Structure 1
Amino acid sequence: MLTVIENLPDYVFGVKATGEVTEVDLKDVLLPGLAALADKYGEIYYLLLLDTKVENFTPGAWIQDAIAGVKHLTKWKKMAIVTDQKAVENFTDIFSYVTPGEAKGFSIAEINAAITWVSLKS
């Protein structure tokens, strides 16, 4: 399930992933949120609080995630991934070298630092 994280700056879109994350979650929550941000600001500052294992993302969710990434390819500015899964955090840091914008991994204990970082305009 994806839920929108409230109380972020208007130009930052954040979601919390819990339990199973499906294609419907991405179509109903993630894609519209990213589209609204891209339309309004022309750029994307994104925070994902991953409070579930990546194995809980269904194949359809991964496809929709890829679509979101490609659809807004030139608009990505910052992406903060917050998780206690060290492999995901490390992958996010490496991913930053091959994608537009910046990506950085944070532990769940660092959620406030992640919000501060992703909220700083680059």
Structure 2
Amino acid sequence: MIEQMQGLPAGTLGFRAIGQVTADDYARIIVPDVEAAFALNRKLRLIYHIGPEFTGFDPGAMWDDAKLGMRHLSGWDRVALVTDVQWLRMTATAMGFAIPAEFRLFSNVELAQAIGWISEPPRV
């Protein structure tokens, strides 16, 4: 399941993965929110928290995540991934260079720092 994170500044989207994440979660929650935000903003920031309650992704969810990121490839300003899931951390570390945005990886105990970083005013 995916839930929205609240209290983030304008132009910033936040999602939290809890339990098993499905393709339907992407279709119902993430995709509409991202598309609506891009309709209003040229650049967006994203924080994605995959915490201790996370149990896994269905294969369709992983594919939807990749498609969504590619569809808006140049539209991301900052992306923060917050997780202690080792295979996700290793993948993010290995593939972080391919994200056309400022990208940072945080552990779950650093969630507050991740929110602070994602909320910093844009550099001029």
What TM-score does the superposition give when structure 1 sets the normalisation length? Answer: 0.89
Moved more, 35-44 or 22-31: 35-44
Aligned positions of 1:1-122 closer than 5 A: 1-51=1-51, 52-53=54-55, 56-120=56-120, 121-122=122-123
**Residue-by-residue CA offset, 1:58-90 (whole Å, 9 max, x unaligned):** 011011111101111110111101111244234
Counting strand residues as a fraction of each chain, which structure ranks higher?
2
Counting helix residues as a fraction of each chain, which structure ranks higher?
1
Once the two structures are TM-superposed, the CA of residue 117 in structure 1 deviates from its matched residue by 1.0
Identity of aligned residues (%): 28
User: What is the DSSP-based 3-state SS (H/G/I as helix, E as strand, rest coil) of the residue aligned with 1:27?
Assistant: helix
User: What is the DSSP-based 3-state SS (H/G/I as helix, E as strand, rest coil) of the residue aligned with 1:114?
Assistant: helix
Once the two structures are TM-superposed, the CA of residue 92 in structure 1 deviates from its matched residue by 2.3
Once the two structures are TM-superposed, the CA of residue 20 in structure 1 deviates from its matched residue by 0.6
What's the Cα RMSD here? 1.5
Structure 1 runs of 4+ aligned residues shifted over 4 Å read: none
Segments of 5+ residues of structure 2 without an aligned counterpart are none
Once the two structures are TM-superposed, the CA of residue 99 in structure 1 deviates from its matched residue by 2.1
User: What is the DSSP-based 3-state SS (H/G/I as helix, E as strand, rest coil) of the residue aligned with 1:110?
Assistant: helix
User: What is the DSSP-based 3-state SS (H/G/I as helix, E as strand, rest coil) of the residue aligned with 2:110?
Assistant: helix
> Could you tell me whether the CA contact under 8 Å between 1:93 and 1:103 is conserved in 2?
no
Q: What one-letter code is carried by the residue in structure 2 that aligns with 1:26?
A: Y
Distance in 1 separating the partners of 2:79 and 2:13: 10
What TM-score does the superposition give when structure 2 sets the normalisation length? Answer: 0.88
Distance in 2 separating the partners of 1:93 and 1:104: 9
